[in-house]
Amino acid sequence: MRDIIVRPAARFVLLGILTACGSDDSSVGGAGDASPSDAAALRDSAHSDGLALQDSARSDGAAPEDGAPSTGGDSAAEDSAATPSDASHDATRDDAGVDAGATDATTEDAAPADASAPTPDGAPADAHAIDSGVAGCTLPAYLATETTPIGWASLNGGTTGGGSATPVLVTTLADLSAAAKGASAAVIYVKGDLEQGTLAIGSNKTIIGCSEGATIRGHVQISKSKNLVLRNLNFVGYNCAPPDVDTTDGGQCQNGQDAITVQTSVTNVWFDHDAVSDGSDGNLDITHASDFITVSYTKFFYSTQRTDPHDTGDAGHRFSSLIGHSDNNASEDTGHLNVTFHHDWWGQYVVERMPRVRFGKVHLFNNVFSSTGNNYCTRAGTYAQILLEDNVYDDVNSPWEFNSTTDQGTASISASGNDFINGTSGMNGSSGGGTAFAASTYYSYTADPVTNLEASVKASAGPM
């Protein structure tokens, strides 16, 4: 029997525009999981909280260990006991590509190819939405009830983004880039499928996708930023293709851009109800002492089973989320890289890094892992402290593991209440020589029972 930790009655409340929103949930690509009526019911009952902060400017490339190609991104020594594909590079880079162009898969795990198309459960795009107060943009109703994040983003003063700033609507990458730069508080609504490119996000921003659909393609760079809220958005990376990477000319996916890079002392970010797919390097990488981050109701996946012929082969460097880029960065990362993942879904074609962790205290509860054919789900590297509670593992390999016997001596994995179904295998035990952490000593949360959790998460993860 697992312990249920009850949230406190007092909760941070997001000021102004966010509290004027309403409530609903839907998945990106959950068509096969529930009928429209069932999905709506699940969405209406399967929610929690969220919020975020941050500033921005560049990417993970200047330092030798995280820039140019390495001979073993997780380091050759630590990967001696690792799967060959995770021995590839953990680097992120400064230069951005411009083209994603990947076709979205049509299975239940895929995001809709057209961001303005009906939601995956068959409901119209404006179902369960509310008036934003801005012409041409409706917002999902959950914004009215889920006004603050659970987890690490609730600490360090909380995550409020642009607060009560007057909202603006953008429909182009150029306009979004202009609105998102700098440190002035801003609330930005995004509508449409924007052109590919690089988006840098400054501090004190709330960016919300309209229910009519909002897709940001290419690379999102968050560097040195504070206090960000990013909700209801579809992020699509370059998918290891030109102009980011050309594998037909010797290119390697790990030398390309993440879909989203969070690096260099970024603090207080809340990703909520987003879909993140097709990053050339990673989908969402968090590095260089970034901290106080919550990722909730978000789906991670790849639209194709791409390959990476000059590096990771058939695995295609489909390695979703890296927390901590190098074993050699203890002086910067120790005490940071604290991240909460809850009610997230790692779906089709993800091979590894759900996430892969160094140094940080990372809490995962009520998530779904259904990426059949993967190598592993969550991996603890040097000095990682990982807490896994009440997650569902559906037909996957190695739900969690240590990166190596050496890393097992410094890292900790604590696990309880998790559900393993449909042939899930290869668990490598928990414990470890490192110090375990209890999330409840830092923040309050409620872990839902695993019964029916998979259906509810698949119905609610992603934009609406």
Would you state the structure tokens that stand for residue 426, as one six-digit string? 């290869």
Q: Are 237 and 259 in contact (CB under 8 A)?
A: yes
Is 231 a known active-site residue?
Answer: no
Cα–Cα dist 240/99, whole Å? 9
Torsion of CA 258, 262, 264, 269, to 10 degrees: 180
Distance linking the first and last C-alpha atoms of the chain: 34
Distances (CA, A) of 18 to 133, 139, 332: 11, 10, 34
Among the listed residues 353, 356, 358, 379, the single catalytic one is 353
Would you state the structure tokens that stand for residue 27, as one six-digit string? 């998945």
List of residues 6+ apart from 440 with CB closer than 8 A: 5
Cα–Cα dist 40/14, whole Å? 25
Residues classed as catalytic: 353
